[in-house]
């Protein structure tokens, strides 16, 4: 099948590459000429395991193309995916400016019946707006072309997006006509070979499903972080609590790991947007508001622990930081807990030496230039190098490379062997055996170094 993906950000690029991998003829469109030039060479503007290989192979095979001109991709194309950004406005609402502009351009250029698929995360009612914009352009052109607008939200985890797309748990499709349903079923047939993974519903139902799913996962995270805070005051190890409740199949182990709070491009934005939607219809989203508030507070916990240990004035203190991305498996730093930690400790006078296995280039672009220019923050290319002269190490992102480090070597390098474990990666008793003073989340046991 021939399809066009508008937007080559994270969602658009993964979507286009994976459809091409299954044999569809895909053209990805973006107004960013530099990005398109990069992609035409097989170079990616983002990090996602396995994506570069698929992009390069399908470029060679001719099943994947990139252009800045939507008009070039329209010929004989009957499926358009809208995969542009929906950044949050000041009031938390999703900004649909890019989505509606793409809809306008589709209406300007389409030449036959088409299915327009909202792949971007958009509020309930967006498909109705997209329909009006496209119809308005068709009316302006004086042409009568049938079309359907479909909601097909993505459920991709950064760091595992290729597997999520190629082997999905479910494929949510919101449609209003049988014709659109038939087109979408044919398009996704290669992804449902073992069993039917497609769940059809009304368009507005699908739009809501995406927000509800992300809000539910965010709720689990904030709930566990709140329990972790209680555990610290009650002398309880939250890790034992996590294992105890996770063994209940009604709860499960996913998304109940206490830590520094959630980040990224989805959970924070989508919770805000759902809160705004609830308020717009006259409801008070008390639970969602609490989820967001808990997460904002949780991102300050690690910095609070550092100041509690060393005092409010961190002048003269050197801290090592492991992890800058908001989660392992990606270079995405949007809403990352590491940014809040850096703001907190540097405002208190500390200098920081930071390392991340993947996000170093992104960090040099996204972090404030004065942090680096002033010498308060130094980005280093080796996880052990950042430990030199360090008064303590803070782990913020739980990369696999950090799971079994050389603790003996770490203790020899560090000025003082103090570990602030923002993701509860390490066992407090084991850290004590290696001579580390350990501070975790919800397991604040003051193990002092031996000897």
Task: Just list the catalytic residues.
Answer: 266
Count of CB atoms within 10 A of residue 377's CB? Answer: 21
Q: Which secondary structure element, helix H or strand E, spans residue 205, and what is its range?
A: helix 203-234
Written as six digits, the tokens of 83 are 């995969």
Distance from C-alpha of 151 to C-alpha of 117, rounded to nearest angstrom: 6
- Cβ atoms 52, 21 nearer than 8 A: no
- Strand ordering across the sheet containing 25-29: 64-67, 25-29, 2-6, 79-82, 114-118, 147-151, 171-174, 198-201
Helix (H) or strand (E) holding 55: helix 51-61
Can you read off the two tokens belonging to residue 180? 């659109």
Q: In what order do the strands lie in the sheet with 392-395?
A: 377-379, 351-355, 318-322, 392-395, 418-421, 437-439
Q: What are phi and psi of 310, to 5 degrees?
A: -105, -10
Query: Which residues lie closer than 8 Å to 397 by C-beta, 6 or more apart?
Result: 322, 323, 324, 325, 326, 327, 328, 336, 338, 356, 423
Distances (CA, A) of 106 to 86, 229, 270: 18, 50, 26
Q: What is the DSSP letter of 30?
A: -
3-state secondary structure (DSSP) of residue 281: coil
Tokens of 327: 């989660």
DSSP 386-420: GGTT-SEEEE-S--GGGTS--HHHHHHHSSS-EEE
C-alpha angle 290-294-297 in degrees, rounded to nearest 5: 140
How far CA 306 is from CA of 103, 194, 301, in Å, comes to: 49, 51, 9
DSSP 414-431: SSS-EEEETT--S-HHHH
Q: Could you tell me the sign of the dihedral formed by the alpha carbons of 315, 317, 318, 323, in that order? A: negative
């Amino acid at each position: 099948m021939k399809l066009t993906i508008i937007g080559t950000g994270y969602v658009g690029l993964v979507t286009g590459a994976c459809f091409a991998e299954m044999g569809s003829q895909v053209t990805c469109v973006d107004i960013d000429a530099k990005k398109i030039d990069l992609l035409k060479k097989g170079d990616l503007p983002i990090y996602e395991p396995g994506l570069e290989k698929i992009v390069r192979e399908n470029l060679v095979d001719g099943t994947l193309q990139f252009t800045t001109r939507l008009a070039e991709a329209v010929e004989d194309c009957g499926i358009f995916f809208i995969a542009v950004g929906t950044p949050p406005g000041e009031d938390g609402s999703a900004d649909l400016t890019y989505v509606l502009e793409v809809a306008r351009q589709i209406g300007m250029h389409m030449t036959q019946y088409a299915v327009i698929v909202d792949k971007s995360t958009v509020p309930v009612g967006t498909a109705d707006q997209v329909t009006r914009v496209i119809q308005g352009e068709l009316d302006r052109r004086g042409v009568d072309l049938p079309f359907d607008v479909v909601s097909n939200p993505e459920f991709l985890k950064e760091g595992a997006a290729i597997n999520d797309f190629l082997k999905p748990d479910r494929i949510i499709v919101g449609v209003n006509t049988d014709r659109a349903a038939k087109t979408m079923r044919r398009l996704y047939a290669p992804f449902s070979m073992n069993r039917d993974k497609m769940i059809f519903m009304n368009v507005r139902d699908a739009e809501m499903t995406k927000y509800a799913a992300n809000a539910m996962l965010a709720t689990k995270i904030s709930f566990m972080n709140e329990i972790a805070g209680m555990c610290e005051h009650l002398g309880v190890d939250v890790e034992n609590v996590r294992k105890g409740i996770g063994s209940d199949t009604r709860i499960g182990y996913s998304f109940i790991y206490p830590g520094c709070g959630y980040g990224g491009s989805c959970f924070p934005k989508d919770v805000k947007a759902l809160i705004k939607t609830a308020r717009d219809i006259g409801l008070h989203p008390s639970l969602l508001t609490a989820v967001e508030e808990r997460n904002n507070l949780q991102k300050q916990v690690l910095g609070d622990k550092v100041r509690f240990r060393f005092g409010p004035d961190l002048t003269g203190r050197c801290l090592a930081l492991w992890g800058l991305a908001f989660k392992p498996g990606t270079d995405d730093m949007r809403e990352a807990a590491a940014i809040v930690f850096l703001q907190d400790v540097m405002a208190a006078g500390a200098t920081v030496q930071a390392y991340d296995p993947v996000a170093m280039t992104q960090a040099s672009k996204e972090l404030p230039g004065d942090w680096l220019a002033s010498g308060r923050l130094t980005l280093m290319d080796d996880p052990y190098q950042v430990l030199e002269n360090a008064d303590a190490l803070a782990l913020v992102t739980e990369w696999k490379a950090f799971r079994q480090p050389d603790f003996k070597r770490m203790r020899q390098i560090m000025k003082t062997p103090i570990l602030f474990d923002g993701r509860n990666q390490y066992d407090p008793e084991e850290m004590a055996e290696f001579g580390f003073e350990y501070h975790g989340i919800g397991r604040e046991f003051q193990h002092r170094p031996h000897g």
